[in-house]
A = this chain, B = another copy of it.
Amino acid sequence: MTPLLDFIDSHSPRFRDELFSFLRIPSVSARSEHDADVVQAAEWLRDQMERCGLEATIHPTEGHPVVLGEYRKAGIGARTILVYGHYDVQPAEPLDLWDSPPFEPTLRDGKIFARGSVDDKGQLYLHLKALEAYLAVHGSLPVNVIVLAEGEEEVGSEHLAPFVEAHAERLACDGVVISDSAMFAPGLPSILSSLRGLAYFQIDVDGPATDLHSGSYGGAVVNPAMALARILATFHDAEGRVAIPGFYDAVRAWETAVREQMRSLPFDEGAFRHETGASALGGEVGYTTLERIWTRPTCEVNGLLSGYTGEGAKTVLPAKAMAKVSCRLVPDQDPDTVEQLIKAHVAAVQPAGVTVTVTALHGGRPWRGELAGPLFEAGSAALERAFGRAPVIVGEGGSIPVVHDFARVLGAPVLLMGFGLPGENAHAPNEWMSDANYIGGIKAAALLWEELGRR
């Protein structure tokens, strides 16, 4: 043990009590009746930041305020690291499904039950406690630190990107640390290093001017719904690969070591299948379920609509057919290029007799953290020291918009070092955070500063 870890262990009851105080504030950002609670949480957080040795300020936005805590004493020559978290929480309803009240934190079976425990108050506050411990033991930090806590993550972070853009100079940094995700399994520290992007389209197929009688016209007029089905069927080959020419051109391969590590994760395929309710899993050949979700792009139908969809039989030849189609993207695909590829492909396969229009509705870039560099290496070392084993690299099939905002505006690498666990009920009744991960997270966050100081 080291003095730093000793300090954390010996102060852990107080660290837990303070988190409980934070969790008692019902800072539900989605409900205006909780606006005062959100402000109270921001002020409580500012006070705690100051007690840890940060200069803390509250910044109003058009929505809920941003709280900044800054440590600048490492000086101009030192690195600056920004720690991001959020102090707002999801609504607690339905209340009757909670085994203990959502805003009365309760420790049971090693789990801290409360709304916001893991998402994200516990994971934000552990960074403050790590900073307090580090400063208490060492007297100073080897890097400058900015803690940015927002109060609108659960309602879409509408004002965060404008805030970051407006304060880009003040927030300039060499790396961003976010703890708002989960470890793959208990005891398995994890770095979330990739997010998929999105390219979302609507495909409209227009045929006859109105729905026609399928007896009087069927066979001589191209059926828009069948044309749509035939177009969609060209989007994949028989082995589950996307068959849109050029679709994979920009896809960056994963390091063999990371792929092997992903394949060795303790993933229960049967439990995952059971969770979906599907009779079998399926996807692109040559990849495991986790690789399919984390590392491979997709092309999905999100919706279909054409003709008669009510009860029974109506013999119409539909005038039109519509599909919502979206591609999950991986580095270095980009939504604009995928839009061009889809449009060119659809134009090439569409039959005569119908007019096909592809409209881009929404796009977002994929993200992948560099698995190298001082921040990644320091994070890996800190996690290994705190949890007794090297972290695994995990991915996420969806996206976390703030990651893109930070990467885009600040141009800094982002380290996603999360301490949640599977089954933690974020956004659901009986949300919990592992008490061991809360204390382990404080240690990892504190050791991060130590490891960064060495690099």
Chain A residues within 8 Å of B, Cβ to Cβ? 196, 198, 200, 207-210, 212-223, 225-226, 228-230, 232-233, 235-236, 272, 276-284, 289, 292-293, 296-298, 300-309, 312-319, 321-324, 326, 328, 351-355, 361-362, 396-399
Docked complex Cα distance between A442 and B315 (Å): 35
**Nearest neighbor of A197 in chain B, beta-carbon distance:** B215
Provide the residues of chain B in CB contact with A354, threshold 8 Å. 278-279
Is the pair B309, A352 in contact by a Cβ cutoff of 8 Å? no
Sample (30) of A-B pairs whose CB atoms are under 8 Å apart:
A198-B315, A208-B276, A208-B277, A208-B278, A215-B396, A215-B399, A216-B396, A219-B292, A219-B296, A220-B272, A220-B281, A220-B283, A220-B292, A221-B282, A222-B280, A222-B283, A225-B303, A225-B304, A226-B232, A232-B233, A277-B319, A278-B354, A279-B353, A281-B353, A300-B317, A302-B308, A304-B321, A313-B326, A313-B362, A315-B326
Most chain B beta-carbon neighbours within 10 Å: one of A218, A222, A316: A218
**Nearest neighbor of A399 in chain B, beta-carbon distance:** B215
Provide the residues of chain B in CB contact with A322, threshold 8 Å. 309
Cβ contact of A301, chosen from B223, B277, B292, cutoff 8 A? B223
Provide the residues of chain B in CB contact with A306, threshold 8 Å. 301, 303-305
Given contacts A214-B326, A304-B309, A313-B326, contact A235 B225 (CB under 8 A): no
- Please provide the 4 A-B residue pairs with the shortest distance between their CB atoms, ordered closest to farther: A209-B277, A215-B398, A233-B233, A225-B301
Given contacts A222-B278, A278-B207, A328-B214, contact A307 B302 (CB under 8 A): yes
Copy number in the complex reads: 2
Is the pair A276, B212 in contact by a Cβ cutoff of 8 Å? yes
Is the pair A210, B277 in contact by a Cβ cutoff of 8 Å? yes
Provide the residues of chain B in CB contact with A218, threshold 8 Å. 293, 298, 300, 328, 397
Provide the residues of chain B in CB contact with A300, threshold 8 Å. 214, 218, 223, 226, 317
Is the pair A353, B314 in contact by a Cβ cutoff of 8 Å? no
**Nearest neighbor of A242 in chain B, beta-carbon distance:** B219
Is the pair B351, A282 in contact by a Cβ cutoff of 8 Å? yes
Provide the residues of chain B in CB contact with A235, threshold 8 Å. 226
**Nearest neighbor of A397 in chain B, beta-carbon distance:** B215
Docked complex Cα distance between A302 and B215 (Å): 11
Is the pair A221, B301 in contact by a Cβ cutoff of 8 Å? no
Provide the residues of chain B in CB contact with A207, threshold 8 Å. 278
Is the pair A397, B216 in contact by a Cβ cutoff of 8 Å? yes
Docked complex Cα distance between A306 and B323 (Å): 9
Provide the residues of chain B in CB contact with A232, threshold 8 Å. 225-226, 229-230, 233
Is the pair A361, B301 in contact by a Cβ cutoff of 8 Å? no
Provide the residues of chain B in CB contact with A280, threshold 8 Å. 222, 352-353
A293 to B: closest C-beta gap in Å: 5
Is the pair A200, B313 in contact by a Cβ cutoff of 8 Å? yes
